[in-house]
Structure 1
Amino acid sequence: MPLSIDPEFVAGLESLLPVLGDPVTFPPGDVLSRRANVNRRWALAMETWPVIDDVEHSIHTSRSSIDGAEIATHRYVKAGSSPSKSAVVYTHGGGYFCLNVPLYHNVLQTYVSQSGVQFFAVEYRFAPEHPFPTPVEDSYSGLLWVNQHASAFGIDPTRIAIMGDSAGGGVAAGVAIMARDRELSPPLAKQLIIGGMIDDRNVSRWEALTPFATWAPDDNLTGWWTYIGRDKAGKDDVSPYAAASRVESVQGLAPLYLDVPGLDIFRDENIRYAQRFAAADIATELHLYPSLPHSFEAFTPQIQAAKVAMANRVRAIQLL
């Protein structure tokens, strides 16, 4: 049976199409054109999100361990209530080369409003200006900063999770591996990976997906080439901190929550990653959302599948 797309997603997207414009393709390696296009389309999509008025936002500063640079860490906390004892450190998506925390403002506020758990979003630097290992090192430094300042924010340091989507999911997975290898104390409570970009060896064209892809194979190649280098992507010596699927063993890693859409070129690499955790007897929760493309919930938060996905994530966050 041929692939098909969720009709509710199609209907939900129709109202955005006049604003988003026709899809534009760029040759592999054209990172700056992609950055401008993705940032523009994401910002337009975020304008359609429901307004959240019960979340407070502040900006703090940590320092990257790689070069001492100041890194903004955005705190989101539900207003009118005591801060949660648990916390999530978030790394935004963007193919390792675009988007930023302000463009994720509505998404992060929604998680906090619905869960009651405070979030810390790290404004990590990204490629091509700052290729690997800067993004993951910046993000790990942000996690360390939250860990070290836990008491100031009323956080139980045993209840801190790392979370990210798309390339941010890749960064989050890399941070989780770093936390294990560098013996973070207390260890991470959980990692939440949302449609993670975690395997540089993913070069499949998956032609049947072409009509539905919101993140296409050429986009994926561009992201990996930009992040780790065109001469390294797909080779044998890529660090698992860059591409988490490369990790030799998942033993000792934090419990995993993972979800991925069925029409996402990251589907198979994410499922394989979750299977490794389950096989290692690490607490694992996996959700597959059929007939939906990458980042479907960002563009159509009003559809039932997006509400279910958000509810599943919120529940996983609340269990910290």
Structure 2
Amino acid sequence: MTYRYDPEIAPLVPHFPEVDFSDVAELRKVEAAIMEFGTYKPPVPVDTRDFTVPGRQGDPEVEVRLYQPADRDGLLPGVVYMHGGGFVIGSIDAFDTETRRIAAEVGAVVLSVNYRLAPEHPFPAALNDSYAALTWLVEHADELGVDPQRVAIAGESAGAGLAAAVALYARDHGGPALRMQYLSIPALDDRMDTPSMREFTDTPGWKRSNAEVAWDFYLGGKGIRGGEGVSPYAAPARAESLAGLPPTFILAGEFDPLRDEDLAFAQRLIADGVQTELHFYPGIWHGTSQMAPQAEVSRRMVAEQLAVLRRGLRPEGPAPQD
């Protein structure tokens, strides 16, 4: 179909490679080209180190990367970040720009999670890894110089879906209190029964056929997606109630197959009494800010992302909800 893309980014569409999630081996061979988002030079020094944190309940250790502003004054907020990649690809390296930028320009300690990927590690592996990283950061807040009352969960695409799942899990299991959740173009609903998911079959960045394969991989095989019994900790849109979740920011785009599930999730959050901020961008596709970083709309998305995190994590911000 014809899409009314933002005129600045429309000419780029023919230059993006076709991506097929059904061939995992080939997908991972070309992953570097797909997930190459450039190099970010922070305006202030940021110290980084890679290490592992304990997994949950006998799971293997979780690979993480810690970002800490070198010039700091007092306690800083903490952000646990999950990368995108459809649950199948992606890494802390691929999203280094996003996490390093948050550390430098928000002034936060960021823990980026290299969670296990499907299909080798289906749900709940990625959820368990992400939750383990969150609990580790909160438990080590003193030594990291993190204010435990100002911890956020954040992510992009599949990683944003994981962030939403972690927030649900923490709410339901007495986990760490979260100041906010930042959900950028989140993958939330395995049922895939929205107009945008049905219609956007040839959009760059993400399309229905790849979403079908990714959910099948993540849920553990064909025949599970869309059926009964899928956990809300896998597909957060299935949660019966969203009440009690932390203040939430959601970013959605006009020509993203995930558009309608993102808008519906924001509406449900509002109806359930959760302080929610929704930014909807016309003319963009899934992952525009990474794929076309110099475009005006991409620069605006990034600036607003940083502003939202600064507001949500400021010392005088709203207290975490019970």
Which residue of 42, 45, 56 maps to 1:65? 56
What letter is aligned with 1:195? I
What letter is aligned with 2:83? H
Superposed CA RMSD in Å reads: 2.2
Q: Is the 8 A contact 1:91 1:121 kept in 2?
A: yes
CA 168–24 in structure 1, closer or farther in 2 if over 3 Å, else same: same
Q: Give 1:24's aligned residue.
A: 18
Measure the CA separation in 1 of the matches of 2:106 and 2:157. Answer: 21
1:80 CA displacement: 2.5
Measure the CA separation in 2 of the matches of 1:213 and 1:244. Answer: 24
TM-score by length of 2: 0.89
Q: Which moved more, 1:231-240 or 1:307-316?
A: 307-316
Q: Give 1:130's aligned residue.
A: 121
- 1:232 matched to 2:220? The reply is no
Q: Give 1:255's aligned residue.
A: 247
Q: Deviations over 1:7-43 (max 9, x none)?
A: 11235x48x93xxxx63353x7333333333442212
Q: Give 2:179's aligned residue.
A: 189
Q: Is the 8 A contact 1:3 1:208 kept in 2?
A: no
Q: Is the 8 A contact 2:197 2:258 kept in 1?
A: no
- Does the residue aligned with 1:8 lie in a helix, a strand or coil? coil
Q: Give 1:277's aligned residue.
A: 269
1:134 CA displacement: 0.5
Measure the CA separation in 1 of the matches of 2:139 and 2:118. Answer: 28
Q: Is the 8 A contact 1:57 1:76 kept in 2?
A: yes
Q: Which moved more, 1:209-218 or 1:133-142?
A: 209-218
Q: Is the 8 A contact 1:200 1:233 kept in 2?
A: yes
Measure the CA separation in 2 of the matches of 1:288 and 1:6. Answer: 13
CA 39–199 in structure 1, closer or farther in 2 if over 3 Å, else same: farther
Gaps of 5+ in 1: none
Q: Is the 8 A contact 1:84 1:117 kept in 2?
A: no
Q: Give 2:5's aligned residue.
A: 5
- Does the residue aligned with 2:302 lie in a helix, a strand or coil? helix
Measure the CA separation in 1 of the matches of 2:302 and 2:19. Answer: 30
Measure the CA separation in 1 of the matches of 2:118 and 2:75. Answer: 34
Q: Is the 8 A contact 1:91 1:171 kept in 2?
A: yes
Q: Give 2:260's aligned residue.
A: 268
Q: Is the 8 A contact 1:84 1:116 kept in 2?
A: no
Measure the CA separation in 1 of the matches of 2:169 and 2:266. Answer: 18
Q: Deviations over 1:70-91 (max 9, x none)?
A: 1122111223233652111000
What letter is aligned with 2:127? V
Q: Deviations over 1:97-127 (max 9, x none)?
A: 1111011112211222221122110111111
Q: Give 1:223's aligned residue.
A: 214
Q: Is the 8 A contact 2:201 2:209 kept in 1?
A: no
CA 174–262 in structure 1, closer or farther in 2 if over 3 Å, else same: same
- Does the residue aligned with 1:158 lie in a helix, a strand or coil? strand
What letter is aligned with 2:53? S
Which residue of 20, 25, 28 maps to 1:35? 28
TM-score by length of 1: 0.90
- Does the residue aligned with 2:217 lie in a helix, a strand or coil? helix
Q: Is the 8 A contact 1:86 1:155 kept in 2?
A: yes
1:71-90 pair list within 5 angstroms: 71-82=62-73, 84-90=75-81
In the comparison of the two structures, how many residue pairs are matched?
309
What letter is aligned with 1:33? E
Measure the CA separation in 2 of the matches of 1:206 and 1:31. Answer: 22
- Does the residue aligned with 2:76 lie in a helix, a strand or coil? coil
- Does the residue aligned with 1:227 lie in a helix, a strand or coil? helix
- Does the residue aligned with 2:309 lie in a helix, a strand or coil? helix
Which residue of 95, 100, 112 maps to 1:109? 100
1:304 CA displacement: 1.4
Q: Deviations over 1:268-307 (max 9, x none)?
A: 0000001011111211000011110000000111111111
What letter is aligned with 2:238? R
CA 202–60 in structure 1, closer or farther in 2 if over 3 Å, else same: same
